[in-house]
Amino acid sequence: MNTARIDRIDVYCVRGPRKEAVRSGTTGATPVTASEFGVIRIVTSDGCQGLGEISITYPRIGFTLCHAARRIVAPRLIGQDARRAPELLALVDTILAGELSAPYLRAAFEIALLDWNGRHHGVPLYAMLGGKCRDRVPLAWGIYQKSPEEMARDAAAGVAAGYHAIKLKVGRRLADDVAAVRAVAEALGRKVPLRLDANMAWGSVPEASAAMRALAAEAPIAWFEQPLSRGNLQGMRLLRQQAIAPVMADESLQTLRDAYELARAEAADVFNIYICEAGGVQAAAHIFALAAALDIPCILGSQAEMGIGTAAAAHLGVAVPNLTHAWETFGPLRYEAELVRPATRIEDGWLYPAEGPGLGIELDEDVLAAWMAGE
Ligand SMILES: [Mg+2]
């Protein structure tokens, strides 16, 4: 009997309550109070399991992707050999046929297959990625949009807690952004360069340029993240040429192909790479490799992944050679509870991978049951 035969794939819709409501440049007045994500559990005939996570904050289509995982992808993987992960992922690619949200689903299945294979072979995921370059991953801390005083307080608390960089969302009325950036910069003694994420909020190169100049006058700036719409690579290039501060691509960058197009258009100084947007841990690693070849610094960003997605990030983070800036993979801290055991280890601004086989984690079945949504 083939003990690696996939017998069952569970897909759970989960609604993880956030500690704080989220607002960003693109969502205006509708705050997100819970993440609607998915959990995938692959079970083979020997009882071995693999866990994956469907993570997507905006747009809020996590449950739609769960439905697709359950009805379209999972049935085609039942009966297949879980050891043949690349072959199964090629099948997933064929099933999803390049659909725009395909990378999020693919990533969930890829993480689950990697976790299964790690457990099957008895090695941690980072060992399957080639081994460790380091033992832990430096993290930045993200500040939500609130009053300037509250944002200044949150930023100071983040630095005091050991985080290596501070990220703010901008893209509101410019006067509000200026007040917030000024307050945060003053609270940090203007010593910490700020990552300012516009989430595509500015409508043109002149508008973005004016906003960037106004904000750069208030604080040292690490970079401006995604000042323009995702397809406006030419505009991003023009902003780079103004040399106000480095320009980071986020929404413009999902897949390896996007990274190539950005580099070709000379549209970004820095890449923000996501496991879920790239299509998996290995797909993200490929973008890191391309960026290294092109001397483009990059970080791993987050969709506020829960414990499974963040575990995958931790393993990639200790294995990837080119880690030049703090990552933003602090997702589990955004939730009222932890979905996995052991809990994600984040201490003094550092993220650590679990040491067990695969991802090194198990689902907390009580939290899963509490968060499970009916869809
Ligand atoms: Mg962003």
Average pLDDT over every residue of 292-309: 97
Token pair 């987050």 is found at 302
Inform me whether the pLDDT recorded for 25 exceeds 80. no
Which superfamily does 6-122 belong to?
Answer: Enolase-like, N-terminal domain (3.30.390.10)
Q: What is the distance in A from the centroid of ligand 1 to the CA of 250?
A: 5
Which superfamily does 128-364 belong to?
Answer: Enolase-like C-terminal domain (3.20.20.120)
Q: What is the distance in A from the centroid of ligand 1 to the CA of 199?
A: 5
Give pLDDT, residue 1.
67
CB burial readout 151-175, b (16+ within 10 A) else e: bbbbbbebbeeebbbbbbbbbbeee
Q: What is the distance in A from the centroid of ligand 1 to the CA of 39?
A: 23
Give pLDDT, residue 255.
96
pLDDT digits (tens, 9 = 90+) for 348-363: 999 999 999 999 999 9
- pLDDT mean across residues, the chain: 96
**What gap in Å lies between CA 33 and CA 48, rounded to an integer?**
34
Give pLDDT, residue 58.
87
Q: What is the distance in A from the centroid of ligand 1 to the CA of 301?
A: 7
Cα atoms in the 13 Å half-sphere on the side-chain side of 76: 16
Q: What is the distance in A from the centroid of ligand 1 to the CA of 64?
A: 22
Cβ–Cβ under 8 Å, residues 211 and 170: yes
Q: What is the distance in A from the centroid of ligand 1 to the CA of 197?
A: 6
| Bond before 227 cis per omega within 30 degrees | no
Q: What is the distance in A from the centroid of ligand 1 to the CA of 225?
A: 6
Beta strands in 201-339 (DSSP E): 221-225, 247-249, 270-273, 298-300
Q: What is the distance in A from the centroid of ligand 1 to the CA of 303?
A: 9
Domains 6-122 and 128-364 share a fold: no
Question: Can you give the residue ranges of every domain in the chain?
Answer: 6-122, 128-364
Alpha-carbon torsion (197, 200, 202, 205), positive or negative: positive
Inform me whether the pLDDT recorded for 374 exceeds 90. no
Q: What is the distance in A from the centroid of ligand 1 to the CA of 24?
A: 9
Q: What is the distance in A from the centroid of ligand 1 to the CA of 231?
A: 15
Q: What is the distance in A from the centroid of ligand 1 to the CA of 339?
A: 24
**Nearby residues of 25 by Cβ (< 8 Å), 6 or more positions away:** 169, 170, 171, 172, 197, 198, 199, 200, 201
Q: What is the distance in A from the centroid of ligand 1 to the CA of 139?
A: 15
Q: What is the distance in A from the centroid of ligand 1 to the CA of 120?
A: 35
pLDDT digits (tens, 9 = 90+) for 235-259: 999 999 999 999 999 999 999 999 9
- What is the end-to-end Cα distance of the chain in Å, rounded? 35
Give pLDDT, residue 50.
98
Q: Residue 62 corresponds to which tokens in the numbers above?
A: 């996590």
Give pLDDT, residue 26.
55
Which strand ranges, in their side-by-side order, compose the sheet holding 6-22?
6-22, 32-44, 49-54
Per cent of the chain over pLDDT 70 is: 98
Average pLDDT over every residue of 204-227: 98
pLDDT digits (tens, 9 = 90+) for 86-120: 999 999 999 999 899 999 999 999 999 999 999 99
Inform me whether the pLDDT recorded for 24 exceeds 70. no
Q: What is the distance in A from the centroid of ligand 1 to the CA of 201?
A: 11
Cβ–Cβ under 8 Å, residues 91 and 28: no
